[in-house]
A = this chain, B = another copy of it.
Amino acid sequence: MLDLLLQANRLKVMPRTGWMIRGIVHPESVAAHSYGVAFLSLILAQAVDEPLDRARLLTIALLHDLPESHITDIPYPALRFIAPAAKRTAELNALNEILRAFPFGAEYRELWLDFEDRRTPEGRLVHDADRLEVLLQAFVYERSTGNRQLKEFWDSTSESYFEYPASRQLFAVLRQQREEEMTR
């Protein structure tokens, strides 16, 4: 169990590379982002009408970036050089090794795939939350650092990205507040 915890602990020193390549100095760690996704999933779920399994929801959020403790956070623009199947296989291989000693390994792998493939309502909501958390952080960096290179996160996201009306509504509010502050 200690090995598993030390492995997850590495997420605290993994920088989120999407910020890094755009010049954000000492950006948040993957662990801090994972916290953000889990918290955002928790709150967002309160605004969803559909019944949700909160235990499943939060477990998915806590697991969704675990393979990055081995693979690191390969930034999105790099993925056009790597076959998507190669990345998915690498992450599954890493997850298999991390969890191979545990009886709950199979369950966790299934939860990770739920997020990746948006299989269930919970996987879909964490997928929405993952994107909303990026935009929230982009807004926070834009107003605290003067970085001009985060605009593309906004340009590349539209309401249709999100599965839940609650996500779309939060996205709209966030985008509006960002526009108001940035043009002031």
Contact = CB atoms under 8 A, between A and B. Distances in A.
Nearest to A83: B86
Contact of A10 (B10, B21, B34, B90): B21
Interface of A, secondary structure class, is helix
Interface in A25-82: 25-26, 28-29, 31-32, 34-36, 38-40, 42-44, 46-47, 53-55, 58-59, 62, 70-75, 77-78, 80-82
Contact of A136 (B9, B39, B71, B146): B9
A59 B62 contact: no
B20 A14 contact: yes
A106 interface: no
A97 interface: yes
Contacts of A53: 55
A70 B62 contact: no
A23 interface: yes
A75 B68 CA distance: 11
Interface of A: 1-2, 4-6, 8-15, 17, 20-26, 28-29, 31-32, 34-36, 38-40, 42-44, 46-47, 53-55, 58-59, 62, 70-75, 77-78, 80-83, 86, 89-91, 93-94, 97, 102-104, 136-137, 140-141, 143-149, 170, 173-174, 177, 181, 184
